[in-house]
Structure 1
């Protein structure tokens, strides 16, 4: 059997046996690396990051980050339990930390570790804006996007090995390998990341609405993000994130559905 055939069968087998289910979309997702391995590594890296950073404690802003995070996490617990995923969060260890750093940034690690930078607070402009960012970051953690990216990275590495071996005897081996690197980055990895960002936006709207925040505030947040960027973003097809315009349009279209979902949980008023 030729190498390429064996390699293809190996990839198919990996997809078949190493999948999980996204509890928000019902879609099957890559899970080559189990969360039982990922979470402890993420927790360790988060602790290391905190030890090397200027952590803000005891301020009104720090308390707001924690309070909003707890509300979003509680909303996710309600949603998951109501949709047949009780116990889904049993291995999550939520932590929300404000970092003294001028970067306009916030991020989530697998297992529920969240970091907000002080540089994003002038753009969030209060609780509802923080809830929009928090919902998005919590959604990344809940949808196991870190696990999917690690799994996709492993498959991409295997595929690169396959291209190298298959083209080893070719005079154009270097060209093939370079072309594969560009095609996989633009055609697979970047869109994969953009899909994660859009998915986190949509899930985050539902979570912030269930937590009692108006999801349309997320669109206003991204308008402020867009103004802050000043048009310096790369073209969308070369970016890991959707453009601000795409996000604003998507959020505006999804906001009503997020409110409708929240009403199922008895939420009838939404904080701006």
Structure 2
């Protein structure tokens, strides 16, 4: 950490209470946009991979809302991604893709690449804290992703475990229950302010990670610090610095 960064983000003494770091995954730990864009462009040269990736991701929350409203029964993210994909392909001139190609493309979400700081940052944090996922991604997806990318989780937790999607309180409080700790002994690490706000309402501590390129270089994300988050970090390595790891 350089001196100017240290001055801006002084190292905090590690909390004796904090025991578990729970991580949002899509965007926070892995680069979904860059990964999906590359997969689409490799499968169908000439397609606008940037627009395709963002359109696929844009269908994510509406699809989950159909589950949460009861319109759909409990449905894993793999199946929701496929529903969105099948609706999306004709818009991009890809209605002719056969079933094997569709299955391969849908599993691109299992093959997302980590941000460059993710693996080294997680290894440092793992020395002091228990690390788990807290993602709407299903268990098989998160396991495949971790194995391929070398993400050193102590435990993989998913909306699938709690049969509820974030921001349902059952997900955040479920982490504390799994590890038999109080909510304030869990910190959610994420790049999405709505996720962090919902976690705080359940008593969790929160750390925001800057990912300005989450939606691609053409769509930079505002990473201005917002009140409420205990920590605001440029990367997972910076989070390790701030937590004294």
Same-fold status (TM-score > 0.5): no
Give 1 or 2: higher helix fraction. Answer: 1
Higher relative contact order (CA 8 A, sep 6+): 2
Structure index of larger Rg: 1
